[in-house]
Structure formats: C-alpha cells, structure tokens
Amino acid sequence: MSDLSNYRNIGIFAHVDAGKTTTTERILKLTGKIHKTGEVHDGQATTDFMEQEQERGITIQSAATTCFWKDHRLNIIDTPGHVDFTVEVYRSLKVLDGGVGVFCGSGGVEPQSETNWRYANESEVARIIFVNKLDRIGADFLRVVEQVENVLGANPLVMVLPIGREDDFTGVVDLLTRKAHVWPDPGNPEKFDLLDVPEDMVDLVEEWREKLIETAVEQDDDLMEAYLDGNEPSIDDIKRCIREGTRKLDFFPTYCGSAFKDKGVQLVLDAVVDFLPSPTEVDPQPLTDETGEPTGEVATVSAEEPLRMLAFKIMDDRFGALTFVRVYSGVLNKCDTILNSFTGKTEGIGRMVEMHANDRADLDSAQAGDILAIVGMKNVQTGHTLCDPKNPCTLEAMVFPEPVISIAVAPKDKGGAEKMGIAIGKMVAEDPSFRVETDEDSGETILKGMGELHLDVKVDILKRTYGVDLDVGKPQVAYRETITQEIEDSYTHKKQSGGSGQFGKIDYRIKPGEPGTGYAFSSSVVGGNVPKEFFPAIEKGFKVMMEEGPVAGFPVLDVEIELYDGGFHAVDSSAIAFELAAKGAYRQSMPKAGPQLIEPIMKVDVFTPDDHVGDVIGDLNRRRGMIKDQDAGPTGVRIKADVPLSEMFGYIGHLRTMTSGRGQFSMEFSHYLPCPQTVADEVIAEVKERKANA
C-alpha cells in the first residue's frame, strides 16, 4: 500500500488566457514527465490534445496527468478557463483535495476566475495562488494581491516577492529563507542561482516577511506568544502553521513568476508538497440516501473501509469509453465486481489505467485517494457512485446547471442520421451540461448547451471526430410560460360506450407560484369525494400537460394546482379517468389564467477599459439590460447586469468592436422574467410559422 500522506490531488484553474496549460506544461517538464515543452500558441501543449483545443488555443476538457516531485505523487487536472465549460471545472473541483489558482499578472482577477473561485469555496478546496505572466507589460504582483483581497474576499499570504518588473523580471525572493531565486537562462528552468536579497529590496522583504510570520503563527497560540515575546519560530514551525491555515482556508499561499519564461514554477511545486493537503487531511465526503439527503455517515479515506468511488467524468476515445473515478475509500482490484448505486446494477472491472493526458498506463489495483480511469464501463454517468455490492452507499451527487441555448441540427446527407445519433449519445454522456432532444412537431434534433462557444465546439467535434457534417439552424432561446391570475374551476370527464364507462370530476384552483418553484400539486379534498388513490393520477395528468403551455407551446413553470373537491362513480371511476379529467381541466382553464411568456435572464459580467464604459452601458441598456453594479479597477471597469439571453447572441464580437478588442465578458443563467409584449408577439409568430411549415 502506498503512503497516502505523499499524495496530492490538485487541479489548476483560472480565467481563459491566464496561463494554466503553460503552467501545467512546465510542471510536467520539471518533474521529468515530458522532455520537450509544448506551447499552447503553437498548438503543441500536452494536455490540450483535442484538435479544437490546439486550433483555438483554449482548453475545452479537463485533462488528467500524474507526475512525481520530491517523492510525492501529484495527480494533476488541467481545467478549462472559458465560461461555457465551467462544468468541467466544477466536477474536477469536486474530486480534488487542493488547487492552484493561476492569475494573470496584468489582467488580475478576471470574471471567470471569480466563478471558479466561488466553486472552489463551495467545494471547500484548499488552494495556493500563482500570479503568472509577470514579464508582461502592465504586470504588477502586489496589485493582483490586492484584487484577490477585494474582489474574491480571500486572504492571500504572500510567500515570494518579484525581482524586477515587466521586461526586467529576473526571479523571485523567497520570504521564508530570505534567498533570491534568479533564472539566468530562460530555456532551462532547472538551472537557477540562489543569491542574497538585492540591496534595494531588503526593507521591502523584511516588511512582507513580518506580515507572513504574523499571519502564520495565528494558527498556534504557543508560537504566537513566543513570537510576541521576540522569539522567531523555526522555518519548520512556520511551514506547519501555513499548512494548517491553508487546509482550513484561512489564507492562500501566494507565489509569482512567469511560466512561459520558466521562472518561479519550482517554488509552486514545493508549495503543493508543503502546504496542500493529502487525501487523508481533507474532510471526508458525506454519504447521502437516494434522495440526496445526508445520512450523517462519511466515506473515511482508508484502505480498510468498504470501496466507495465517484465517477466524475466520461470520455470517449479511440479505445472506447473511459470513466474517470476518484476512489474515496477502500481498494479496487482488477476483475472486482462493483455496484452502481444509481442504477442498482453490478459491473465487472476490466482494464484500469492511469492517465497522462491522452496516453495511459495499465494498473492492477487502486486505493483510497487515487484518481484513475476505468475502460469499457456501461451505463455509468457523471456523478454516479460506484461501491462495494455488500455495502451499498451514495456519495453526495453533483448538481449541473441547466442549458440555456439551443440549436437545431440535421445531417447534410440523409444516411448520416444514425451516425449522428450514436455520436451525440457519446457526447451527452461525456458532458452533463450538453443535452439533446427531438422536437415533437418538426422532428428536428435540438442540441442544448451553456453558450454559443460550447455548441460551436460540439458541432466541430461532430464534424471532425465523428465525420458527421451538419446543417445548423439559428440559436433558439429556451422560453418558458407561466400564469398571472388565480382561477377556480371544475371539470368532469364522462364517457359512456357499452360496458363500463369512464367518470371523473375534479374541482381545482390554479394559481401562480413563486418564481423558481416549478410545478406544485396539493390536495385539500375532505370527505372522500375523490378517493386518495386517484390523487397521483390527477397530479400526473396535470404534470404531463405542463410540458406544453397555452401561449406558444413552451413548458410551463411556477404554477400551483390545488384539488379541493370533486366526485366519483363507484363503478366507472378509474385512475385513467381522473388523469384524463386533469388533462381536460388543464386545456380548459390555463388559457383563462392570464398565461404569459417568460424568458431566461442572464447574469452578465462585462470588463471594459475606462474609456469605453459609456458605450458598453449604453449598449447593455439597448439590449434591455438592467445594470446592477459598476466596479472600477486599475485596468478598467467591471459592469454587472441582468440581460435577456435573446439579446446576447453575437455579443462578444460587438463588445470587441466597441472596446478595440480589450473587452471581455462572462455570463451564466440567473432566472426567468416575463417578456415584453412586443418580444412575445414575435416569438409566438415565429412558432406558428415553424409549425405551419413542419
């Protein structure tokens, strides 16, 4: 059994373009995993192995790799930075024990870093911070430190100070040891000189060193007392305190460097080993029951415990389906039989592999704390718990955001439909935020995703990886419907045709629910006018009908239905009769309850340089946006607004034109709000036209 205290399961996450993948490359080079560093802008990076990633210079799917540093095993996951692929970050954070947050030295804390940071806080993942690209124009380490405090509300613990700025950046000073690390040769990261602190930095180093020690000793009362009495603790004691504080998320050790120029990455690796927790040091995962409620039990990280694993990612490649799992407790051996607690089915384990980006090495066994991939598992999806058949359990499930944008697709050649169906099926299994459905009226295949780029990449993968050429329709917004008035009504379903007939009478109230509540059914029938056994059928009847609203046929949200009276026939009443009565009641009453169209509103976060603020705000107002907040920073202004999704198509191109290419934005779904009448009329007319042509 390997020693778990030497394991580090870490993720590297950041905003798009902050240099995560380059940092990962340098780590792999330093640990001897690769011998030649690949560059992102040349499309040569190890962890960006998809064609789409190489061309666009962005990471799309998280890639796993394993390497060793100072006798410690590092399982690293490089995650995407783009907002449309946030789901990858979320599910990776779920299974990691620690993370490295990479920030750009000139861009600072950007919108997506904020979302990722929030996810990491929710998952309670300990992190260290690496401020990258200090050789860039406008890079300022201490400004980024300040931003981390103000924007993220975090407490960065500065561990190093940079020597020189921008083009003159040559190395860093380690505050603990008071040694300067200088890299003379940019192409050789292993070679650095340990020098004394430059004279002009001595006072600054002492000032920050004092802050560092003061913050660290707060973790240990005895050390703190000794320090206040004028006794400086040993470096080992300080490191122990920093490790404790990092684990408790009291502060985040902060480093800086330039990954591209090979400066400062060693210290980050040392920090991963020194300060980030091993699998046994993090709080164990809670177990839940089938409904997702905590049972109070936890999956203790130990080889002695029963086997418990979480599938956090599915990937399909040339060898077949790969299921990435994190083992939380117990031991997994080849040929074991495991239970999928979600489906209730058992499966045998064939091949187990350790991943290095796109390559793999076979394993015979794995234990608590490991991250590995299992080949050829069936019916396993992201978020399923795999466990010992004798000790069934469920780990805390993952909750994925709902898709907000959809496009209609059709294969260009007629014979491609089956091929397309198989390919999309594989892709849906891989990405839980990507959905597919068939439009009942037109028979079109509808793809749904988190944003335009997300769907654009999916169409590209279908074309290249699976050889399916598609005709793509224009993006559709996921409108919904609701009601505005309360209504009381009655409906009787009667049918008599030789033999026993059908009879069901219901008296009901339909009223608008609170936003975000969905559909709720309740009954207050007294005195057995409608027997209890028919309630589920009535609820089902209404629920089925909610899929199609009275205005334009979109699903209905936020409606409460109360059954308060009714009548039945001793012979002719049945569950089916009452279900049909509910359906008839829906058709009769919904049009009278003031139905209206509601549209998805996005939480938009725009960054713009100072001189274009007026243009950007004016443009958001034209897009029916509600400005919520403005926050001026050193490099520009961040504007937060709520904007309808239908107005946001093609926004990135428009924003770049307005801000001379310097603007950025991210958006995520927030809530639904009623459409203005003019918009609703357009949508209804469009739906009618589509149905007429179908």
pLDDT band at 619 (very low <50, low <70, confident <90, very high): very high
pLDDT band at 53 (very low <50, low <70, confident <90, very high): very low
- C-alpha distance from residue 318 to each of 195, 349, 466 (Å): 50, 19, 11
Tokens 């033999």 -> residue: 499
Tokens 């060693």 -> residue: 266
Is residue 612 over pLDDT 80? yes
Is residue 364 over pLDDT 50? yes
Is residue 252 over pLDDT 80? yes
Q: Which of 103, 95, 89, 58 is nearest to 75 (CA)?
A: 95
- pLDDT above 70: percentage of residues in the chain: 83
Distant-in-sequence, close-in-space partners of 414: CB < 8 Å, separation ≥ 6? none
Specify the pLDDT at position 56. 43
Residue 379: strand, helix, or coil: coil
**For range 342-371, the mean pLDDT:** 76
What values do phi and psi take at 118, rounded to 5?
Answer: -65, -45
- C-alpha distance from residue 68 to each of 9, 98, 127, 365, 373 (Å): 12, 16, 19, 19, 19
Sign for the pseudo-dihedral over CA of 210, 211, 213, 214: positive
**For range 669-688, the mean pLDDT:** 86
Distance CA 255, CA 250 (A): 17
21: tokens are: 């993948």
Q: Which of 255, 88, 260, 274 is nearest to 181 (CA)?
A: 255
Is residue 692 over pLDDT 70? yes
Cα angle 210, 215, 220; round to 5: 115
Mean residue pLDDT across the chain: 78
Strand ranges across the sheet with 98-104: 63-69, 72-78, 7-14, 98-104, 126-132, 252-256, 156-158
- Mean pLDDT is highest, among 499-503, 638-642, 688-692, for 638-642
Specify the pLDDT at position 40. 43
Is residue 43 over pLDDT 50? no
CA 287 centroid distance within chain: 21
**For range 318-330, the mean pLDDT:** 76
pLDDT band at 38 (very low <50, low <70, confident <90, very high): very low
Residue with the larger pLDDT of the pair 189 and 245: 245
Distant-in-sequence, close-in-space partners of 658: CB < 8 Å, separation ≥ 6? 608, 612, 615, 616, 619
- In sequence order, the β-bridge partners of residue 566 are 506
> Is the whole model's pTM more than 0.75, yes or no?
no
Residue 372: strand, helix, or coil: strand
Residue with the larger pLDDT of the pair 667 and 582: 582
Specify the pLDDT at position 50. 45
Is residue 57 over pLDDT 50? no
Is residue 426 over pLDDT 80? no
pLDDT band at 641 (very low <50, low <70, confident <90, very high): very high
Specify the pLDDT at position 358. 54
- In sequence order, the β-bridge partners of residue 435 are 448
531: tokens are: 């027997």
Residue 553: strand, helix, or coil: coil
Specify the pLDDT at position 87. 61
